[in-house]
Amino acid sequence: MSKGERALALARAIPAEDAQVERLTERYLELRRQVFRDAVDTLIELGQIAADVHRRLGRAYAGWLARVGTTYGSARNYAALAGLAAEQPEIVQGWKELGPTKLYRIAFLPKPTRKKVLRPHLREDLTRATDAEFAQIVEPHFVRKRKVTPEMRAHGLYMKVQAWTEALRKSKVAGVVDSRRKADLLAGLDALERAIERIRRDLR
């Protein structure tokens, strides 16, 4: 039995005649929809800001992400959601109850295929689907991108290195007295140095 089937079986086990449970359930679902609506609006604004900063800073964008404590992947999701809101606002406004994670997936779909997934008669099924189940629903609609080249991988690593460098530069560990903490950190730094040396050899 799948996770979705187990959840459905548990839902059916709840006595339908319990009116109080029904009222509480409706209120719970309404509050969750409200949370999703508010979260989506906030993330759209974050995405607009991130995209604007990226345009202004270029390669220095990674350092800005480290400064604001946001990963590149998260910022990419926010920007994609902001792009969806600008490109097809009716999707965002009409499907906020899906929540951010599902809407990220919709944002990364090619524009012509988005409404093929978001069919009104499937609204309840799409809303109730777990994020993993929704990913399976969306997967067939993705267009495979061109093959990732070594140059593309190198650029992605460069962006990460910029963020890591900024984070390490700001780190302060003076005064640490816990010997185990020190040992763990030193071991991690040794492993990082070995990884860096391997990349240096590959680049020579």
Stretch 117-145: mean pLDDT, rounded? 86
Does the structure show a pLDDT above 50 at 39?
yes
Same domain, 15 and 114: yes
Same domain, 130 and 158: no
Same domain, 50 and 32: yes
- Residue 137 identity (one-letter amino acid): I
- What pLDDT, on a 0 to 100 scale, did the predictor assign at position 149? 83
Same domain, 133 and 155: no
Q: Domain limits at 133?
A: 3-141
Same domain, 195 and 120: no
The predicted model scores a pTM of 0.59
- Which one has a higher pLDDT value, 151 or 118? 118
**Residue whose entry in the numeric block shows the structure tokens 């974050």:** 46
Same domain, 56 and 12: yes
Half-sphere exposure of 166 toward its Cβ, with a 13 Å CA cutoff?
A: 18
Give per-residue pLDDT as tens, 170-200: 888 888 888 888 888 888 889 999 999 999 9
Give per-residue pLDDT as tens, 41-59: 999 999 999 999 999 998 8
Same domain, 91 and 129: yes
- What pLDDT, on a 0 to 100 scale, did the predictor assign at position 8? 47
Tokens of residue 44, six digits: 């759209």
Q: CA 171, CA 124: separation in Å to the nearest integer?
A: 47
CB 117 within 8 A of CB 141: yes
Give per-residue pLDDT as tens, 84-122: 999 999 999 999 989 899 999 999 998 889 988 999 999
Q: Look at residues 91, 117, 141 and tell me which one is the last residue of a structural domain.
A: 141
Identify which of 138, 133, 132 has the alpha carbon closest to the alpha carbon of residue 118.
138
Does the structure show a pLDDT above 60 at 5?
no
Average pLDDT, the chain: 84
CB 72 within 8 A of CB 163: yes
Using 50, 70 and 90 to split pLDDT, how confident is the model at 81?
very high
Q: Look at residues 100, 115, 141 and tell me which one is the last residue of a structural domain.
A: 141
Same domain, 7 and 103: yes
Same domain, 130 and 155: no
